[in-house]
Amino acid sequence: MKKVFLHQTNIISPLGFSTEENFRAVCAGNTAIQPVTIAEPIGTIYAGKIKEEVFAKMYPKMSSLEIPRIEKYILAALEPLVAQRGISEDSLLIISTTKGNISALEKHQIEAAHLGTTATYIQNYFGFAQKPLIISNACVSGVMALSVAKRLIQMEQASEIYVVAFDELVPFIISGFQSLQAMSDTICKPYDIDRKGVNLGEGAAAVFINTEKEEKGIELIADANINDANHISGPSRTGEGLYLSITQAIKEANIDVSQIDYISLHGTATIYNDEMESIALSRAALDHVPANSFKGYYGHTLGASGLLETILTMECMKNNKLIPTYGFETLGVSLPIAVITQLQEQPIHYALKTASGFGGSNSAILLKK
């Protein structure tokens, strides 16, 4: 099997407009989550939202384009990677999102809301010869996009791949989470006994992937995606899908659980998700491994979250740093999780990234430095 490496990355978020800015921000303990006022009947919520005026100042050309705001963020995420790596006839674009340009529905622009419409625009803007591939599988989409990229390269269906993941904060998505009574009225506290629920966020993230080993590349050594079909929105009470995803990825990597140095979890700060993760980690004998959630810094960025958090995981590995879980104080799940509580330095050779989503979807990937 060909080896697969993750190289150049980029993050567009409320905390910054590059991977470096974002990593510095989380190391400094900064959070993007603050009160955001949305049109009635939603009102004011705690969320992570990109400030339009700041983005316009940084990207005046893109900001002036007559395109949906989410497409501007996609272009900004991909442009520096394409400028550095270029595009060949073999370059493939994989797009990850849960809702895409869902705000178009508010304007009754049905065609513009189709994921294929956004994908085609991005393809044409950069000049990709191949038709893009869309991965839209709830909140595991970002991690699953990396999984699909790995498999396509190993099956020799592609030699180099750009993955971009994105979602935006819009009333449609907010109202859906409100209907589940899953929203926190303050900054979320993953795994904490006083957690009240999730915050939402928005952003775009991108990575370039190929088979070439380079000095700062991170190898994607294993993946697994298991759907336990537990419930349309509720996670499995036994953590079955996540447990199987983790154990199958470890089996493919052919390593022992004791070799995993760090875990980047999904960590939405909802009662059932956090509890499910504690059960899955315990079953996989990983409850002692330092673990965190990035949701307290960004909120849940949906289809972007898996890739955004993987990129931050890569930076943790490169810099040998463990990032604390923002908002966490006292463990509030039934089984142990070694939640990181302060910024610390530690060698990270192997890292596990997980994600879970609606419909029973679960994903896990293993990274090697």
Q: What is the pLDDT of residues 164-220, one digit of tens each?
A: 999 999 999 999 899 888 999 999 999 999 999 999 999 999 999 999 999 888 999
More confident: 283 or 233 = 283
If you average pLDDT over every residue of the chain, what do you get? 96
- Cα–Cα distance list, 118 to 10, 74, 149, 166, 211 (Å): 19, 10, 19, 11, 28
Asked if the model's pLDDT at residue 312 lies above 90, the reply is yes
pLDDT of 40 over the 90 cut? no
- List, for residues 135-175, the tens digit of each pLDDT value: 999 999 999 999 999 999 999 999 999 999 999 999 999 99
Domain architecture of the chain: domains with CATH: 5-210 (3.40.47.10), 218-368 (3.40.47.10)
Q: What Rg do the C-alpha atoms of the chain give, in angstroms?
A: 19
pLDDT at 35: 97
The mean per-residue pLDDT over the stretch 23-27 comes to 98
Provide, rounded to the nearest whole percent, the portion of the chain with pLDDT above 90: 93
Residue 215, pLDDT score: 85
Per the confidence metrics, is the pTM higher than 0.95?
A: yes
Instruction: Tell me if residue 178 falls in helix, strand or coil.
Output: helix
Q: Which residues of 244-259 are buried (b: 16+ CB within 10 A; e: fewer)?
A: bbbbbbbeebebeeee
Half-sphere exposure of 237 (CA within 13 A, CB side): 0
Q: Give Cα 86 distance to the centre of its chain.
A: 24
1, pLDDT greater than 90: no
In this structure, are residues 219 and 25 in contact, taking their beta carbons and an 8 Å threshold? no
| Mean pLDDT to the nearest integer, 21-26 | 98
Q: What is the mean pLDDT of the segment spanning 239-257?
A: 97
Average pLDDT over residues 259-278: 97
Highest mean pLDDT among 32-41, 228-237, 270-279: 270-279
pLDDT higher than threshold 90 for residue 36: yes
Tell me the per-residue pLDDT of 67-91, one tens digit each, with 9 for 90 and over. 999 999 999 999 999 999 999 999 9
